[in-house]
Amino acid sequence: MVMRIAAGFLALAGLSACGIQGGQNPNYRYGSDSPYDNYRQAREVALTTGNEPPRRVPVALPVEAPTAAEIAGPRLMQTVARQYRGGAARPAPVQTTPSGAPLPVVQSGPYAGSTPVLVRYAYAADHAPGTVVWQRAGGSAATAARVCASYADADRAQMAFLAAGGPDVDPRGMDPDGDGFVCGWDPARWRVETL
């Protein structure tokens, strides 16, 4: 019984120390004289009185402008990988080979008429194997070799890497050098005009 009373007292003391009992939530306090707080006050008055609310919302400076890379959007190979994982919000732009020809499509099998994801990724990733594109932390060649041994070939390992979030992330440590190619997978073999 004494333990319950002590636990209740400690819980009450903890809540009062947080200021919750006093209604001191900093998200709902109009204590400062910042331009944004003045805007919020004017907006609340307008909403409760039926007047016209302020049209301009002040922004606290410095505002971080988007970088050129953010404006350009994700690299094409990231879009291809995201589509492979099923998370594409919109279709990728039509891709062509360096000669300007459309990417090759499979002529037979269950996906006839489509371009395999490894072909699309090979063309989108236009850098050479071994070129550091993503900074990886904590990966090692030994871990990558152990994971790669669980796949029948490099193609399956590369597809698993893309499905697991690659090349943006490397949760299994398959890409310690950060080039976006795992288990010895070589994009040159997939950069072909016909399949």
Q: Where do the domains of the chain lie?
A: 72-190
Q: What is the pLDDT along the chain (195 residues), one digit of tens a residue?
A: 667 776 666 666 665 655 444 445 555 455 667 777 788 888 888 888 888 888 888 766 556 666 676 666 667 677 777 766 665 555 555 567 777 777 777 777 777 777 788 888 888 888 889 988 888 887 789 999 999 999 999 999 999 999 888 888 898 999 999 999 999 999 988 887 665
Phi and psi angles of residue 171, each rounded to the nearest 5 degrees, phi first = -65, -25
- Coil vs helix vs strand at 96: strand
Helices marked H in the chain: 2-18, 35-49, 68-72, 76-84, 117-124, 141-148, 154-163
Model pTM score: 0.55
Taking only the tens place, the pLDDT of each residue in 150-181 is 999 999 999 999 988 888 889 899 999 999 99
CA gyration radius, the chain: 28
